[in-house]
Structure 1
Amino acid sequence: MTMTDGAITQQSDEAPVDGRVARRQRNLDTVLDVVLEMFAEDMMFPSIEQASKRSGLSLRSLYRYFADPGELVEAAIKRSQARAAELTHLAHIGEGPFAERLDDFVSMRLRLYETNGSMFRATIHNAANHPRVRDEMITNRRLLRDQFELQFGPELAAMSPRERSSAVEAGNVLTQIDSIDLLRRVRNLTVAETDTILRDSLTALLVTTS
């Protein structure tokens, strides 16, 4: 009976704490989603005041969560990157015929851009002022470069060291999200046109004809 009473008492004591934690998480999810929406609208430097107005959460609450706009931006970018991680997965990286690997790779990069392109732009815009954002940007670019090298390992392995180094750097530049953004937004190309450019360029870069 004492144990049962203790369990009941413990549950009663913890319920308000759990409720506050859940409410805090809901508020964080709400405001970070709002910031990501602002990124998508090319508002790359959202203030806490703007986030408060759009989310319906009080300034007092947001300043409890974030000391300054930099922390808000960092948290939003990190939230988006967690989602992006699922999109970058290649189930059988480096395996299978070149045509299949090319299809998987280009489709994945375009899907990643269409879903998270605004987050990548926000990362670039905020990197100069926020060291942690800059570090995340450097890490992400390195991971995307490594992925290119692994996916097309068979073709790269057949090259001389000099050819391989040049191909890796050229392929990396071509397929980074910045480059896809240039094609889609600056050159105003369609997804299909961008897809064709990436496929043709990677084929020319990686497949030797004799």
Structure 2
Amino acid sequence: MTATSSAKVSQPRLRADALRNRERIIAAAREVFVEHGADVPLDEIARRAGVGNATLYRHFADRGELIHHVALSVMDHIADQAEAARVEEPDAFEALRRFVHQAAGMGALCPLMSHTADKEHPELVAARHRLNCGIEALMRDARESGQLRTDIDVGDLMVAVTQLTRPLPGLGATPRGRGSECGVSCVDFDQFVHRHLQLFLDGLATPARSVLPGAAATMEDLRPTT
């Protein structure tokens, strides 16, 4: 028996109701973290998930463990979208376009990863690698089809999408939202996300309208130096 299979055997299998509760907690945590930040009280996450505090702590020992699993969930979901777009869309650039619009939740990754205690945890490393490979494949297909400019890399895409998709649902309507910061009475910034993602995508198409300063950004370039 391999180490991997023995590890799986040693992990108790959750009952169906316990698994549903765990998934509800992760989904609720992702929503609340996006809306209010990663320091939101765990009581609020339990309330949003419709479970008691004891149930939350039965599944996740502390905030760090919960953030870890929410980050994994977000990256796995986005990787699923990249792989599905590549398989299902016959046109390479349309596959990239579909992925970018579907992956608007990437904006949640930055605050989550900054609060993750062990960024080099094997599960997070594997999830990042899968996500990176999925996006690279989409961009490679679009580049080889002659539709995507050649002076950009995955890091450029990630920076733009994470910036354009923040704040995410709910944040724009709160006093802490960007509407109050920019001095305009924007009640729902979310309505502009896909419009500006489309503008960004148009800028990725060939022929390029200008020469970009600097070098193409890779995922490695986005890794913290400390």
Q: TM-score range by the shorter chain?
A: 0.5 to 0.7
Distance in 2 between the 1:56 and 1:200 partners? 43
Q: CA deviation at 1:134?
A: 5.4
How far residue 172 of structure 1 moved from its aligned partner, in angstroms, is 2.4
Look at both structures and tell me which one has the larger radius of gyration over its CA atoms.
1
Report if aligned partners of 2:30, 2:70 keep a CA contact under 8 Å in 1: yes
The two structures have a TM-score, normalised by structure 2, of 0.58
| Residue type of the alignment partner of 1:102 | F
Give unmatched runs, 5+ long, in structure 1. 1-17, 157-162
Query: Does 1:175 find its partner at 2:157?
Result: yes
Aligned length: 170
**Number of the residue aligned with 1:68:** 62
Please report how far the alpha carbon of residue 72 of structure 1 lies from its aligned counterpart in structure 2 after TM superposition. Answer: 0.9
Cα deviations across residues 45-99 of structure 1 (Å, max 9, x unaligned)?
Answer: 4453442343343333322211221111122232333433332121268xx7xxx
Give the Cα separation in 1 of the matches to 2:62 and 2:79.
26
Q: Identify, as 1 or 2, the structure richer in helix.
A: 1
**Corresponding letter in the other structure for 2:118:** H
CA RMSD of aligned residues (A): 3.6
Contact 2:25 2:49 in 1 (8 A): yes
Find the partner of 1:193 among 191, 196, 212: 196
Q: Pick closer, same or farther for the CA change 1:183–1:54 going to 2, 3 Å.
A: closer
Q: Which residue of 1 aligns with 2:71?
A: 77
Match 1:34 to one of 28, 32, 37: 28
Q: Match for residue 207 of structure 2?
A: 204
Do the aligned partners of residues 135 and 30 (structure 1) sit closer, same or farther apart at CA in structure 2, a change above 3 Å counting? same
Aligned CA distance change for structure 1 residues 150 and 22 (closer, same or farther; 3 Å): same
Describe the shift of the 1:91–1:41 C-alpha distance in structure 2 as closer, same or farther (beyond 3 A).
same
The answer on whether the counterparts of 1:39 and 1:118 sit within 8 Å (CA) in structure 2 is no
TM-score normalised by L of structure 1: 0.62
1:1-210 equivalences under 5 Å are 21-88=15-82, 89=84, 90-91=86-87, 100-113=91-104, 116-127=105-116, 129-131=117-119, 132=121, 135=125, 138-139=128-129, 140-155=131-146, 167=151, 170-176=152-158, 178-185=159-166, 190-205=193-208
Q: Distance in 2 between matches of 1:29 and 1:125?
A: 22
The 1-side partners of 2:50 and 2:99 are apart by 35
Q: Which amino acid aligns with 1:201?
A: L
Q: Can you list the C-alpha shifts for 1:163-198, whole angstroms capped at 9, x where unaligned?
A: 96xx3xx2423322x312323548976523331332
* Structure 1 position 122, deviation (Å): 3.8
